[in-house]
Chain A
Amino acid sequence: MNIVNILEEIEKVDGEIYERLNPRRAAMKDFFNIGKKISLAALPLAMGSMFQKAYGQTTPSTVTDVLNFALALEYLEYHYYNHALVAAPTLVPAGAPTAAITTIRNHEDAHVKLLKGALGAGARAEITYAMTDFTAGGTFTAVYTDYVTFLKVALGFEDTGVRAYKGQATFLKGNAVLTTALQIHSVEARHASHIRQMLAANGATGLKPWISLGPGGISNDTGVTQVDAVYARENSDVQAGITITGIATGVTKAAAVESFDETLSKAEVVAIANLFLRTGFKL
């Protein structure tokens, strides 16, 4: 049961977790017994309320800030996919494509609920679909009428999400919440990989499941110049001062670039996210 794993992880960095959750260990044991009976659907809420009880008063503001920042991005992603499925039913072809977008939408929804639950009263205001503008002020006018445009913007969201979570990891260092954030982060990477394959199957020849070196050595390998900011520094081949190109025979610059995804700072992510939020609702 994942909830037990999370508590175990928390205990490693916070030996007093059980006391925080409940002053009596015996009572905790009872909780586990109840926990086993909680339905899977209710689990995120249950976890959220436990985090809230445990850290509600003492969560460092940096952790709350990171989670709220993540929540904003998850709202955006959720609405992006949900609107396609609900309001543009012919946009995504039936069968495997619709199944994939549904899977991704459901994960973003789960992330929203999990983060909201974890933040409790500290959660940021909800972002509704009406507050968004997925045409990015007219840059992607066909976002909900042209399938390929829809996939291109989706990829921008996923690769941004991957880079955003990574960029915030150090602010959660040693905190049990980091594990949860990493578990979301790798799911976003799985989404990105799949959407890259969907795009490759729809004309984006050579687009790999992983971020590669762009043509002529540029950082953006998608061919969509409007999302250059999403791929800033993705052509880097030096990691922690070590040059990866040529680190072993056969490791070309492209292989070196593909081997490591890069981070985006909060400011960089906010600038990207704000393109898709209407005036008055920007981050």
Chain B
Amino acid sequence: MKNLQKNEQLDVLQEESNIFNARLQRRSFLQYAGAGAAGIALIAAGCKKKYRDDDMMPTGVTLDFKDDFGVLNYAYALEQLEAAFYIQVASNPPSTFSPAEKNYFQDIQFHEIAHREFFKKALGPAAIAGLEVDFSSINFIDRLSVLGAAKAFEDLGVAAYNGAGVRLKSDTYLTLAGQIVSVEARHAAYIRDLISNGSFADLTSLTALGSNDAGGLDGALTPDKVLGIAGKYIKTKINVINL
């Protein structure tokens, strides 16, 4: 049984490595596109076609916020990022993680994979491609570096869902976003408590994400702001239109 689980995890890792290995000639492209380090650009719809017609050029991905598909793809992008991060942590956790912490990071890994795969399936042919991530700023053998990054991902994820909910027109997907965001908030609280017990809902520390401690309100950010922050972890160029 234990072996079986191990094999399953290896399969997951292999699937993941395909995403990591899908390296595009991004450096030259970024120069060509004139995009900043964040890799996020607001472009006119007309520009998209030009890139698409050029087979040699990686096109990046486009989040078109004109309808719910754009919002769902935005969530899909963030879940890809989170899943990739936790897969890396869970497969090789910092040596100072306790057995319980290792187990919970395994749990979180599978939650994020479930979210990612849910969006991929729900979007079908409308889904954006897999993103290439950049975790060079994270020291995966260092407990505090890993926890700090996890906290950043979770708090940002919560603010992202909170800020995007109002854009959703479908009852089903609005409810679903709510079903996911509370799980992300549970993760955030757990990770925050690992860093500093009692900081699970320290809203004074989340003002950059739009929180308001006096109102007892968590973060909420618009997609452009979220992508601006998440950009440092994403290599793939993300184009945002109709925001």
Query: Which residues from chain A sit less than 8 Å from chain B, CB to CB?
Result: 2-3, 5, 8-9, 12-13, 40-44, 47, 96, 99-100, 103-104, 106-111, 113-114, 162, 165-166, 169-170, 173-176, 178-180, 182-194, 196-197, 208-210, 239-240, 242, 244, 247-252, 255-256, 258-263
A150 vs B131: C-alpha distance in the bound complex, in angstroms? Answer: 46
Q: What residues of chain B lie closer than 8 Å to A100, measured between beta carbons?
A: 198, 200
Chain A, residue nearest B87 (CB): A250
CB proximity of B67 to chain A, nearest CB, Å: 13
A to B CB contacts below 8 Å, 5 in the list: A173-B168, A180-B217, A189-B189, A242-B121, A252-B110
How many A-B pairs have beta carbons closer than 8 Å: the answer is 236
Closest 3 CB pairs of A and B: A110-B216, A193-B189, A189-B185
8 Å CB interface, B92-117 against A: 104, 107, 110-111, 113-117
Judge whether A209 and B8 touch: CB under 8 Å.
Answer: no
- Flag whether B171 is at the interface (Cβ < 8 A): yes
Q: Is B188 positioned at the interface, with any CB of A under 8 Å from its CB?
A: yes
**Quick one: which of B158, B176, B179, B214 has the most chain A CB within 10 A?**
B214
Q: What chain A residues lie within 8 Å of B172 (beta carbons)?
A: 240
Main secondary structure of the interface of A (DSSP, over half): helix
Where the two chains meet, the residues of B that have a C-beta atom closer than 8 Å to any C-beta of A are 5, 8-9, 11-12, 15, 104, 107, 110-111, 113-118, 121-122, 158, 161-163, 165-169, 171-176, 178-190, 193, 197-198, 200-203, 207, 210-220, 222
Q: A186-B158, A190-B186, A242-B122 are in contact. Are A108 and B9 (CB under 8 A)?
A: no
Chain A positions within 8 Å of B113 at CB level: 247-248, 250-251
Q: What is the CA–CA distance of A258 and B110 in the complex, to the nearest angstrom?
A: 9
From known contacts A175-B166, A184-B216, infer whether A210 and B122 are also in contact, taking CB-CB under 8 Å.
no
On chain A, the residues within 8 Å of B217 by CB distance are 2, 110, 114, 180, 183-184, 187
Docked pose: A260 CA to B12 CA in angstroms: 21
Chain B residues near A114 (CB, 8 Å)?
A: 215-217
Q: Are B186 and A189 in contact (CB under 8 A)?
A: yes
Are B193 and A187 neighbours in the complex by a CB distance under 8 Å?
Answer: no
In the docked arrangement, what's the CA distance between A201 and B26, Å?
Answer: 48
Are A190 and B174 also in contact (CB < 8 A) when A13-B166, A100-B200, A249-B11 are? no
Nearest B residue to A39, CB-CB: B214
A189 touches B211 (CB 8 A): no
Q: Using CB atoms, name the residue of chain B closest to A182.
A: B162
- Judge whether B218 and A263 touch: CB under 8 Å: no
With A193-B185, A197-B193 known, 16 other A-B pairs at CB within 8 A are A40-B213, A42-B214, A96-B198, A103-B202, A169-B178, A179-B166, A186-B184, A187-B185, A209-B190, A239-B176, A240-B172, A242-B118, A247-B118, A250-B110, A255-B110, A255-B111
Decide: A209 and B198 in contact? CB cutoff 8 A.
no
B-side binding surface: helix, strand, loop or mixed? helix
- Contact, CB under 8 Å: B200 / A191: yes
Name the distance in Å between A111's Cβ and chain B's nearest Cβ: 5
- The reply to whether B166 and A194 contact each other, CB–CB distance below 8 Å, is no
Find A185's partner among B118, B167, B181, B198 (CB 8 Å cutoff).
B181
Tell whether, in the assembled complex, residue A261 and residue B175 are in contact, meaning their CB atoms are under 8 Å apart.
Answer: no
Q: Are A239 and B200 in contact (CB under 8 A)?
A: no
What chain A residues lie within 8 Å of B188 (beta carbons)? 190, 193
A182 touches B220 (CB 8 A): yes
Residues on the A chain within 8 Å of B174, using CB: 169-170, 173
Q: List residues of chain A with CB within 8 A of the CB of B176.
A: 239-240, 260
B218 touches A210 (CB 8 A): no
Asked if A190 and B185 sit within 8 Å, CB to CB, the answer is yes
Query: Among the listed B5, B110, B185, B193, which residue makes an inter-chain contact with A259, where contact means beta carbons less than 8 Å apart?
Result: B110
CB nearest neighbor in B for A13:
B166
Q: Measured between alpha carbons, how far is A209 from B197 in the docked complex, in Å? A: 14
With the chains together, A175 CA to B178 CA distance in Å? 15
From known contacts A194-B193, A239-B118, infer whether A183 and B180 are also in contact, taking CB-CB under 8 Å: no
Given A13-B166, A41-B214, A208-B104: A5 touches B8 (CB 8 Å cut-off): no
Check A190 against B201 for contact (C-beta < 8 Å): yes
> Closest approach, in angstroms, between the C-beta of A17 and any C-beta of chain B?
13
Contacts of A108 in B (CB 8 A): 216
The answer to whether B171 and A193 have CB atoms under 8 Å apart is: no
Chain B residues lying within 8 Å of A196, measured Cβ to Cβ, are: 186
Q: Is the CB of B181 within 8 A of A182?
A: yes
In the complex, what residues of A have CB within 8 A of residue B166's CB? 9, 12-13, 174-176, 178-179
Indicate which residue in A5, A110, A261 contacts B179 across the interface (CB closer than 8 Å): A261
